[in-house]
């Protein structure tokens, strides 16, 4: 008779092992893993669909910005809420914040004169034309390289630098912010810095300002009285036409000489 040997493992007879395997097949043991994998797949699918919805809504908003820039209009981020441009499962405020964050975190245009030629990207629907994508196929990232932002006291303004010049965008911005003095100073400094050249008083008679020369001179007087913009100077040509320049970028001699050139001599030498 063989002695009994103590063991932590109990060996079942072959018949009982077969019965247990039949009752609890290996596939049943794998069910939790398969279920987890399926749940991850569903979670991933939901994430892709949510991102696609955001990207398509954002593309509509960007297309609107570009169209308005082409028409000579700035766009405020609050417009997206007003037009309910957000996806159906996203709050309007959340969409505004997410889209602004998306633009800020991606390669976008700086709010300054463009260096070289910029081209506005085509809408996503045009880019994907002819492609068969299911709801679960991720759509590509959006190109915001032409979108510039201006942060004002009344809101955040956006425009396409490919479809609107920096100087015109800032003219609209200052007008929207309802500050004649800021508008005047910004235009004079920008013209003196970028081109460089002084600004004729009748320049402000054009869109978007629509100021009379009398109003422009009145605004200049307010600039002088404020003592906050000592760099802004006025000079008159030999014909008496008032011009304005900034001594931050042009000397008095340059300001006077350029005013005479643009106001008098250029017309005599076409």
Question: d(Cα 25, Cα 132) in Å, to the nearest integer?
Answer: 42
Cβ-Cβ contacts under 8 Å for 12 (sequence gap 6 or more): 20
Give me the residues paired with residue 246 across strands: 232
What mean pLDDT is predicted for residues 231-238? 97
**Token pair for 105:** 């975190």
Tokens 């906050």 correspond to 228
E runs forming strands in 77-201:
147-151, 156-160, 199-200
pLDDT, position 10: 46
Contact between residue 186 and residue 104 where contact means Cβ atoms under 8 Å apart: no
Under 8 Å CB-to-CB from 182, ≥6 apart: which residues?
174
* Structure confidence at residue 116 (pLDDT): 83
Q: How much of the chain, in percent, has pLDDT values that exceed 70? A: 85
Distance CA 83, CA 90 (A): 14
Strands lying side by side in the sheet with 232-236: 199-200, 242-246, 232-236
Q: What is the pLDDT of residues 53-103, one digit of tens each?
A: 999 999 999 999 999 999 999 999 999 999 999 999 999 999 999 999 999
**Per residue, what are the HEC states of 17-74?**
HHHHHHHCCHHHHHHHHHHHHHHHHHHHHHHHHHHHHHHHHHHHHHHHHHHHHHCCCC
Q: Which of 36-40, 56-60, 109-113 has the highest mean pLDDT?
A: 56-60
Check pLDDT > 50 for residue 206. Answer: yes
Could you give the percent of the chain with pLDDT greater than 90?
65
Q: What is the mean pLDDT of residues 149-171?
A: 93
- Show the tokens assigned to 69: 């820039």
Contacts 24+ apart (CB under 8 A), 194-197: 194/113, 194/167, 196/249, 196/250, 196/254, 196/258, 197/245, 197/258, 197/262
pLDDT grade for 33, boundaries at 50, 70 and 90: low
Give the mean model confidence (pLDDT) for residues 194-222.
94
Q: Please give the pLDDT value at position 24.
A: 53
Residue 42 pLDDT level (bands cut at 50, 70, 90): confident
Angle at which helices 166-176 and 180-194 pack, to 10 degrees?
170
């Amino acid at each position: 008779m063989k002695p009994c040997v103590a063991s932590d493992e109990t060996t079942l007879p072959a018949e009982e092992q077969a019965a247990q395997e039949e009752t609890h097949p290996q596939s049943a043991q794998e069910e939790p893993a398969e279920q987890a994998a399926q749940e991850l797949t569903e979670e991933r699918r939901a994430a892709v669909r949510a991102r696609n919805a955001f990207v398509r809504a954002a593309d509509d908003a960007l297309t609107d910005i570009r169209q308005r820039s082409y028409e000579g209009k700035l766009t405020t981020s609050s417009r997206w809420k007003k037009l309910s441009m957000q996806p159906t499962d996203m709050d309007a405020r959340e969409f505004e914040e997410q889209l602004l964050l998306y633009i800020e975190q991606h390669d976008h245009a700086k709010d300054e004169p463009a260096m070289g030629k910029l081209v506005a990207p085509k809408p996503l629907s045009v880019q994907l034309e002819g492609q068969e994508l299911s709801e679960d196929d991720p759509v590509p990232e959006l190109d915001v390289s032409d979108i510039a932002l201006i942060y004002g006291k009344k809101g955040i303004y956006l425009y396409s630098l490919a479809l609107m010049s920096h100087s015109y965008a800032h003219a609209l911005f200052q007008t929207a912010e309802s500050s004649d003095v800021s508008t005047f100073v910004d235009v004079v400094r920008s013209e003196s810095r970028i081109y460089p050249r002084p600004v004729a008083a009748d320049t402000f008679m054009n869109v978007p300002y629509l100021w009379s020369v009398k109003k422009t001179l009145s605004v200049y007087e307010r600039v002088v009285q404020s003592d906050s913009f000592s760099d802004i100077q006025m000079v008159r040509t030999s014909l008496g036409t008032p011009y304005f320049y900034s001594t931050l970028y042009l000397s008095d001699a340059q300001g006077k000489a350029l005013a005479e050139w643009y106001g008098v001599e250029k017309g005599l030498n076409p």
